[in-house]
Amino acid sequence: MNVLVINTGSSSLKYQLFDMENQIALAGGVMERIGESQGIMTHKTFSQGDEHKTKKTITIEDHQKAMHLMAELITQKIDAIGHRVVQGGEAFKSATRINENVKNAIQENNPLAPLHNPPNLIGIRLAEDLFPGKPQVAVFDTNFHQTIPEKAYLYALPYEYYTKHKIRKYGFHGTSHKYVAKKTAALMGKNLEELNLITLHLGNGCSICAIKQGICLDTSMGMTPLAGVMMGTRSGDLDPAIFGFLMDNTGMSQKQIDEVLNKKSGLKGICGLNDLRDIHDRSAQGDKLAKLAVEMFAYQIKKYIGAYAAVLGRVDGLVFTAGVGENDEIVRAKALADMSVFGIELDLAKNDVRSSEPHTIHGTNSRVPIWIVPTNEELQIATETCQVLKNSI
Ligand code: AMP
């Protein structure tokens, strides 16, 4: 079965086609800057280990044009479509075959993810028109976190804010956490149900997850992807009183503060840069704020590891993934320094080795294995799409 995975953002469309029998990607690409005067279209095909890439600057007026361009570029057959949907709220505990009720429920969750769910829904509707009769499945970022217990997902606010306004922790990056957890279990030759893992998805967005015997018990992101550890441009956890203080003392509107917290905070807020490669370069040149940004980031990651070790009681593995998790030995070394009390000991030489394959970086005396496992959210979405369709036959 060939599954097309679609991830529609407000100004982008990412896609990947998988041959699920052989578990390989056949094609993939991204349409960027949809709606701007100059868009960028990148398409890749993969064949026997070779990659063929085409990139064009082209006006992509809207999502419909982007979808049509994608459909013209994909020459292989498409049997089913899996959609990434960011916010499933409490309505969806697992991936779901799309029908009218599912679309309505996604729309009902729009207030919880105003930047993400509406374009996700546009992608679903366009794909239904473009590929009539092909089964479509929604895989939600929030699915994996629906097992988080009430004591962990509730905020200590008046209870009716939860019942009336659905204010609670939902968590995000669920497909990534699930993918690397399963992959790590397979690499360790164990069942996921035997293992307690802390998975660290550290990219431009960051989230950390405590997984006990395959069940997610807690995660660092919250009702929105703004919570948790500081990120490239997002603040992460804050004293909630800061929001009101900024409104009272700076004259900024709620919208402007929101913009600061999402786009001008985190690493960028501290040192002006959000890409850790640039930050390390600056730091090497003696820039104090660049150095401070890295120290803060690593410190916050360390705190979550300690907290989740306490939640899990026993940790059988730490798993680093995504751009920073997979590639940044400096952040990993700082976050994991002096953690032998938790049985966590990094091997600094192994930590410095770059590889696109999963590998371990712990020392021989480390009680806790430390893994680097590249994530593959698209493959996880394709896998869940197949599972849903098999179960619905
Ligand atoms: P992602 O959101 O997973 O694509 O991660 C993007 C982020 O990963 C970038 O903003 C960088 O901060 C970081 N990153 C990517 N490649 C490297 C690298 N080779 N070394 C350090 N950080 C990297």
| Burial group, residue 156, by CB count within 10 angstroms (0-12, 13-18, 19+) | exposed
Q: Is the pLDDT of residue 48 over 90?
A: no
Which atom belonging to ligand 1 lies closest to the Cα atom of 375? Answer: 3
Q: Is the pLDDT of residue 393 over 80?
A: no
At 78, give phi and psi (nearest 5°): -120, 125
Catalytic residue among 19, 79, 141, 316: 141
- Ligand 1 pocket check: which of 327, 330, 355 to mutate, most ligand atoms within 8 Å of Cβ? 327
Q: Is the pLDDT of residue 341 over 90?
A: yes
Confidence (pLDDT) at 132: 95
pLDDT tens sequence across 166-223: 999 999 999 999 999 999 999 999 999 999 999 999 999 999 999 999 999 999 999 9
pLDDT tens sequence across 129-160: 999 999 999 999 999 999 999 999 999 999 99
pLDDT tens sequence across 49-98: 899 999 999 999 999 999 999 999 999 999 999 999 999 999 999 999 99
Q: With residue 73 as reference, give the H or E element that holds it.
A: helix 63-73
Determine the Cα–Cα distance for residues 43 and 70; give it in Å rounded to an integer.
8
List of residues 6+ apart from 389 with CB closer than 8 A = 1, 80, 97, 135, 137
Ligand 1 contact, 204 CB (< 6 A): yes
- Ligand 1 pocket check: which of 274, 283, 321, 328 to mutate, most ligand atoms within 8 Å of Cβ? 328
Mean pLDDT for all residues in the chain:
96
Ligand 1 contact, 325 CB (< 6 A): no
141 in active site: yes
Q: What is the DSSP string of 365-382?
A: T-SS-EEE----HHHHHH
Ligand 1 contact, 227 CB (< 6 A): no
Ligand 1 contact, 277 CB (< 6 A): yes
Instruction: Cite the beta strand spans of 241-299 per DSSP E.
Output: none
Ligand 1 contact, 223 CB (< 6 A): no
Confidence (pLDDT) at 115: 84
Confidence (pLDDT) at 69: 95
Bridge partners, 212 (sequence order): 196, 215
Domains of the chain from N-terminus onward: 2-140 (3.30.420.40), 189-377 (3.30.420.40)
Determine the Cα–Cα distance for residues 197 and 377; give it in Å rounded to an integer.
18
At 241, give phi and psi (nearest 5°): -70, -20
Q: Taking a C-beta distance cutoff of 8 angstroms, is the pair 66, 31 a contact? A: yes
Greater pLDDT, 215 or 11: 215
Q: Is the pLDDT of residue 349 over 80?
A: yes
pLDDT tens sequence across 372-388: 999 999 999 999 999 99
| Burial group, residue 100, by CB count within 10 angstroms (0-12, 13-18, 19+) | exposed
